[in-house]
Structure 1
């Protein structure tokens, strides 16, 4: 098995989910008598809230280099938003960053989806780090909620979901956004926040939902096992 370096902490709630899923699925593949070798570096989430792109890039490069020095053969960023640093970091390190958008694109392509709605916090929805990978590698178009809804979505994610709070008001808001995205042509919905699948029951949505955390963790397992 390959050794994987995990960059977590943004938020620690999502990091726990990643760690649990990777160990669970590797165990299902090889048996419970063994588990993968993982190296975890947990970053203080405040760096994301400062929204200083240069500082974020520098931090993720620094941490990636530390993980590689410790033996990591690949890097997994355990959240959606910090992937904004991946394009800066990847050319500067000798091991692959397993990109969350690539994991999402593979599943969307398998399902034959070409237009996806994207939900998450503001940086994830408005940033280029997911749409560019989907467009350039898979020919997939992404759409996001209307401008006047972005702030409310960001508030629910940053002030509630990443703090472990799951309210009915948040659920209704995001379900309404899904309906609006579907009306605009979305064939599937990217749940681009680790906590969104905990809030929204995919079986109650009238089109495919792509839970990025699950897809990303599966990608990590494939890498660890050499598939």
Structure 2
């Protein structure tokens, strides 16, 4: 099994779930006391968040490239970026390393397509919902039609992620708001909903949605194990 590089800390709350899911799946696949060989580079999210909201993606690209190179030098044989939003910089990171970066959109898009679904709602940070880097890859590579919530709902989704979920705060009030947003997306024709922020799975699960949910954290983690166990390049 190849060594998985985890680029985390954005936030550490979801990075901890990545680590748990990857090792649970490795034990399920290999049995016994097996766990996944891995290295993690974990950044300080306070600095990342400040640069995100300042719109300084040039500085962020430099930090992400440096972290990716650090993971490769530490022994990673494939790279998992444990956040949706920072996949905006996935191409720059991939160009800087010789190992494969497992893009978060691909296992998600494949899982949705495998279910015969085509019109999906996307929840995430405002960056993920409003910028094209995730939506366009899902549309181009997986034939999906991606819709997002109304502007006021996008603002609420974003606020809850940054003010609550990345801090480990989970409230019934916020869960009710997410439920209402998901119901409105379903009413707008969404056949399924992508939980396109790695913290959202801390707040809602399938029982909260009228349509199937596709959690990027879980699907990305499982795909990492699959890639690490595969023969040859990922």
Please confirm whether the aligned pair reaches a TM-score higher than 0.5, indicating the same fold: yes
Which 5+ residue runs of structure 2 have no aligned equivalent?
none
Instruction: Report deviation, 1:77.
Output: 0.6
1:100-179 mapped onto 2 (5 Å cutoff): 100-179=104-183
Superimposed CA distance per residue, residues 143-190 of structure 1 (whole angstroms, 9 cap, x where no aligned partner): 111112222111111101111111111111111111111121111000
**Mapped partners of 1:76, 1:35: distance in 2:** 17
Superimposed CA distance per residue, residues 80-129 of structure 1 (whole angstroms, 9 cap, x where no aligned partner): 11111102221232111111111110100111111110111111211222
Is 1:14 aligned to residue 14 of structure 2?
yes
Is 1:47 aligned to residue 48 of structure 2?
yes
Q: Which of 199-208 and 67-76 deviates more?
A: 199-208
Instruction: Report deviation, 1:37.
Output: 1.1
* Partner residue in 1 for 2:230: 226
Query: SS of the counterpart of 1:129?
Result: helix
Is 1:96 aligned to residue 100 of structure 2?
yes
Match of 2:89 among 85, 88, 92: 85
**Mapped partners of 1:62, 1:55: distance in 2:** 11
The size of the alignment, in residue pairs, is 227
Which 5+ residue runs of structure 1 have no aligned equivalent?
none
Is 1:186 aligned to residue 190 of structure 2?
yes
Coordinate RMSD, CA, aligned: 1.3
* Partner residue in 1 for 2:221: 217
Runs of 4+ in 1 over 2 A off after TM superposition: none
Instruction: Report deviation, 1:201.
Output: 2.7
